[in-house]
């Protein structure tokens, strides 16, 4: 991996998730009712040990009144996570964990238990015996196979829980996938959501 590409990958992995704050604030207000209680909580979590940003507060839906504040304080923001990962892990393992194909190869080569790998979608990358879905039609065809569910998808490059899709079931009548949170998304839109 080139130094420039490695730096870009590192920046994207340690970055804060992008989120539509006005829309999420609307959802939070419908559940909590008070903008001041939400702002007070955001500030407390930002100053706390986990250093959560307002984006992370909404990304993790920490405005939910069912989550006790003591549990919310246990969340760790990306800046704090990144510092911990760099302090506790060799940079080589850090890079290996960021590349799912490399990680799968290392772990399976070592004989360690790993989840079944159904397919990959990465130009110019391959694992013998695993289909490489190189276009949207091939990916849509895979997502339309009900026997594969529940299904967990993750980008080839990345760590943490960014860009993860956890789907429970495929509905052929609506051509939708039911996601972990109970929301539904069409097969054509799912990889881009």
Q: What is the model's pLDDT at position 125?
A: 87
pTM, entire model: 0.54
Measured CA to CA, the distance from residue 82 to residue 76 in angstroms comes to 10
- 139 touches 121 (CB < 8 A): yes
Mean pLDDT by 10 residues, the chain (193 residues): 51 65 86 88 93 90 91 89 80 80 90 89 86 86 91 77 79 89 82 55
Q: What is the pLDDT of residues 43-59, one digit of tens each?
A: 999 999 999 999 899 88
């Amino acid at each position: 991996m080139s130094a420039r590409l490695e730096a870009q990958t590192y920046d994207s992995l340690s970055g804060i998730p992008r989120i539509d704050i006005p829309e999420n604030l609307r959802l939070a207000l419908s559940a909590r009712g008070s903008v001041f209680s939400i702002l007070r909580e955001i500030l407390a979590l930002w100053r706390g040990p986990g250093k959560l940003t307002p984006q992370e507060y909404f990304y993790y839906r920490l405005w939910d009144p069912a989550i006790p504040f003591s549990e919310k304080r246990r969340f760790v923001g990306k800046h704090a996570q990144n510092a911990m990962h760099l302090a506790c892990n060799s940079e080589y393992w850090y890079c290996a964990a960021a590349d799912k194909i490399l990680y799968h190869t290392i772990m399976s080569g070592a004989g360690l238990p790993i989840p079944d790998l159904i397919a990959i979608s990465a130009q110019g990358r391959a694992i013998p015996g695993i289909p490489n879905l190189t276009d949207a039609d091939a990916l849509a065809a895979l997502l339309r196979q009900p026997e594969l569910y529940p299904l967990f998808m993750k980008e080839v490059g990345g760590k943490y829980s960014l860009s993860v899709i956890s789907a429970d079931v495929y509905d052929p009548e609506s051509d939708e996938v039911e996601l972990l949170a109970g929301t539904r998304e069409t097969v054509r839109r799912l990889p881009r959501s």
